Amino acid sequence: MAEFDPRVPSIARVYDYFLGGKDNFAADRDLAGQMIAMAPLVPVITRENRQFLARAVAWAANQGTGQFIDVGCGMPTTPNTLESARAVTAGARVAYIDNDPVVLSHLNALTAKGCAGVTVVAGDAREVPAILGSVSTGIDLSAPACLVMGYLLHFFPAGTARDLVAAYAAALAPGSSLVLSAIHVDRQGAEEGFDDYSTSVARVYNHSVEEFTSFFGPLEVLPPGVVDARQWRARAEPAHLPQREVLPPGVIDARQQRTWAEPAHLPQREEYSIVGVARI
């Protein structure tokens, strides 16, 4: 593993902290505190984003997709792409891509070790041909796949994000799907807060809903469209189901897989995750 300085905050470790993980350092927690001061609901919407990604991956697996490409995956957490996919399809294959040495170390040691069907790729998401070449050792790009770019595109200007999504989508087979999400703060002064975060770790862009929607290009965005993560196919509680034993994290009772409904009376918020899923 490449050397790293724990005194320098990491995007992946800050997210790990928000998700309740333990793989973070004082510098990461300090930056997380600054972000919370700017947007108090950031830990909440980060968890909502993770729940959305689990639902979207499970949806794709239920459509018959058996392979998943998670670009900018971050620290292994629960539920992760592998858990969500294999809760539906036991033999699902997953390629994880990241450029953080700590993330890669954890993926290789905790997720991929002894687990057939998992590929870990070290690389920059912007190097699309190189990433796809490495991914192809474990993923058949001539067959449908689900491409996940969760909480990645807010690190790129809108034009770059559009081009990046288009380049990956063009390499996928018909019948594939695309899962996107990004942080959005709809409040006066939000840009200042994003600028403060940008000087600490990496440039972050507060994309508008219109910009985020444009990232899908000509692709068909599936219902319910581009929405707050809380609104994307949240499972409705099926009535009168008998209680069963507690299932492991990330595993959904098969009786609930296809049940979803628009959540009623969600309070309006200024901070949320913009999400959407498209078919290729």
Res 252: pLDDT: 41
Q: What is the pLDDT of residues 122-177, one digit of tens each?
A: 999 999 999 999 999 999 999 999 999 999 999 999 999 999 999 999 999 999 99
Are 261 and 213 spatial neighbours (Cβ–Cβ below 8 Å)? Answer: no
Are 65 and 145 spatial neighbours (Cβ–Cβ below 8 Å)? Answer: yes
pTM of the predicted structure, to 2 decimals: 0.85
Res 136: pLDDT: 95
Res 268: pLDDT: 76
Res 188: pLDDT: 60
Res 200: pLDDT: 62
Go through the domains of the chain in sequence order and give each one's CATH number: 11-233+269-279 (3.40.50.150)
Res 197: pLDDT: 56
Q: What SS3 string covers 67-82?
A: EEEEECCCCCCCCCHH
Please list the alpha-helical segments (H only) found in 187-244.
190-200, 209-214
What is residue 257's DSSP assignment? T
Res 187: pLDDT: 67
pLDDT at 261 over 60: no
Q: How far apart are CA 261 and CA 238, in angstroms?
A: 11
Q: Quick one: average pLDDT of 53-60?
A: 97
Question: Which one is predicted more confidently, 59 or 256?
Answer: 59
Confidence of residue 199 (pLDDT cuts 50, 70, 90): low
Q: What is the pLDDT of residues 12-36, one digit of tens each?
A: 888 889 988 888 889 989 988 888 8
Collapsing DSSP to helix, strand or coil, 231 comes out as helix
Residue 118, amino acid: V
Q: What is the dihedral of CA 160, 165, 169, 171, to 10 degrees?
A: 50
Res 263: pLDDT: 52
Q: Quick one: average pLDDT of 252-257?
A: 41
Confidence of residue 269 (pLDDT cuts 50, 70, 90): confident
Confidence of residue 211 (pLDDT cuts 50, 70, 90): very high
Closest CA to 216 of 159, 176, 171, 276: 276
pLDDT at 53 over 90: yes
Closest CA to 147 of 47, 249, 276, 14: 276
Q: Quick one: average pLDDT of 171-185?
A: 95
Structure tokens at 12: 């992946």
Find tokens 């474990």 and name the residue: 138
- CB atoms < 10 A from the CB of 186, how many? 14
